[in-house]
């Protein structure tokens, strides 16, 4: 997955991965993290997700990272937020009250930019990577997240041979095998969601499972 893939998707507005409402699993399971209102939450590969607005409404300071500049611009414009823009190393830093987005490659984001982070939320980042690139992303996330930070991870799993990603299939076995080195893992829920996803039904995917995890960064 080259950066050009995602830039082309945003340029063509082929953004089926973008939800037009706050993710209901975020609303349902976020309270289980028991975070203070002023906790800083990191949202990797955030796009223009309305989930960031939900997190800000809970009182959180939201810190996102997004590769595509158009996505970032649309987030602030569509939510009528006045934004200040500056340059920090290899990233553009878009900032408004409670929501800051670093526009650029997550692999060049410096952990020094987020020392106050205590939580994270990954709904569309892990599943955006094919398996051969996913491990590198997981290691970068662990590098960026301070020890004892708590997060909510949402994944999809399905027979990968039946449909090309993204989103890519991420099994519970993969999560346990590849994230346990850096995170304590608790699966909070796992549900059959095939009937709720017409694209997968139309492509005759035989099953589709959505899972929710609580992750805690080990010290």
According to the model, what pLDDT value does residue 12 have? 59
Measured in whole angstroms, the distance separating CA 80 from the mean position of its chain's CA atoms is 22
For all residues of the chain together, what is the average pLDDT?
A: 93
Measured in whole angstroms, the distance separating CA 145 from the mean position of its chain's CA atoms is 13
CA–CA gap between residue 29 and residue 121 (Å, rounded): 11
pLDDT classification of 20: cutoffs 50, 70, 90 = confident
In 3D, which of 149, 122, 150, 133 has the Cα closest to residue 44?
A: 122
Residue 37 pLDDT > 90, yes or no? yes
pLDDT in tens, 49-71: 999 999 999 999 999 999 999 99
According to the model, what pLDDT value does residue 115 have? 94
What domain range is 176 assigned to?
3-11+22-30+38-217
Q: Has residue 16 been placed in a domain? A: no
Which tokens belong to 141?
């996330």
Give, in order, the Cα–Cα distances in Å from 166 to each of 45, 157, 210.
13, 12, 15
Arithmetic mean of pLDDT, 129-138: 96
Q: Has residue 17 been placed in a domain? A: no
How many domains is the chain built from? 1
147: exposed, middle or buried (Cβ count in 10 Å: 0-12, 13-18, 19+): exposed
Give, in order, the Cα–Cα distances in Å from 154 to each of 39, 46, 113, 179, 197.
20, 13, 25, 13, 15
Q: Has residue 46 been placed in a domain? A: yes
Which tokens belong to 22?
């706050």
Q: Has residue 65 been placed in a domain? A: yes
Residue 6 pLDDT > 50, yes or no? no
CATH number of the domain within which 175 lies: 3.40.50.150
Arithmetic mean of pLDDT, 75-94: 96
Report yes or no: 63 and 114 within 8 Å, Cβ to Cβ.
Answer: yes
Q: Has residue 70 been placed in a domain? A: yes
Q: Has residue 110 been placed in a domain? A: yes
| CA-CA-CA-CA dihedral for 162, 164, 166, 170, to nearest 10 | 40
Arithmetic mean of pLDDT, 199-203: 94
Q: Has residue 108 been placed in a domain? A: yes
Which string of DSSP letters, residue by residue, matches 82-140?
--EEEEETTEEEEEETTEEEEES-GGG--GGG-TTEEEEEESSSGGGS-HHHHHHHHHH
Q: Has residue 84 been placed in a domain? A: yes
CA–CA gap between residue 217 and residue 183 (Å, rounded): 5
Question: pTM of the full predicted structure?
Answer: 0.93
Strand partners, 87: 92
Report yes or no: 75 and 112 within 8 Å, Cβ to Cβ.
Answer: no
Residue 18 pLDDT > 80, yes or no? no
């Amino acid at each position: 997955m080259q950066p050009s893939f995602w830039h082309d998707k945003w340029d063509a507005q082929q953004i089926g991965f973008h939800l037009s409402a706050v993710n209901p699993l975020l609303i349902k399971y976020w309270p289980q993290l028991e975070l203070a209102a002023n906790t800083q939450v990191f949202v990797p590969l955030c796009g223009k997700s309305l989930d960031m607005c939900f997190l800000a409404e809970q009182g959180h300071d939201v810190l996102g990272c997004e590769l595509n500049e158009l996505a970032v611009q649309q987030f602030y414009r569509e939510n009528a937020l006045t934004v200040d823009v500056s340059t920090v190393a290899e990233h553009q830093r878009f900032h408004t009250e409670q929501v800051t987005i670093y526009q650029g490659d997550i692999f060049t984001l410096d952990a020094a930019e987020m020392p106050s982070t205590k939580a994270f939320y990954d709904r569309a980042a892990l599943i955006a990577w094919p398996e051969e690139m996913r491990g590198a992303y997981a290691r970068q996330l662990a590098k960026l997240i301070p020890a004892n930070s708590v997060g909510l991870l949402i994944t999809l799993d399905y027979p990968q041979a039946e449909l090309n990603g993204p989103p890519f299939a991420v099994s519970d076995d993969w999560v346990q095998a590849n994230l346990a080195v850096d995170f304590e893992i608790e699966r909070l829920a796992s549900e059959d969601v095939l009937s709720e996803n017409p694209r997968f039904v139309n492509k005759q995917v035989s099953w589709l499972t959505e899972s929710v995890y609580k992750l805690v960064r080990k010290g």
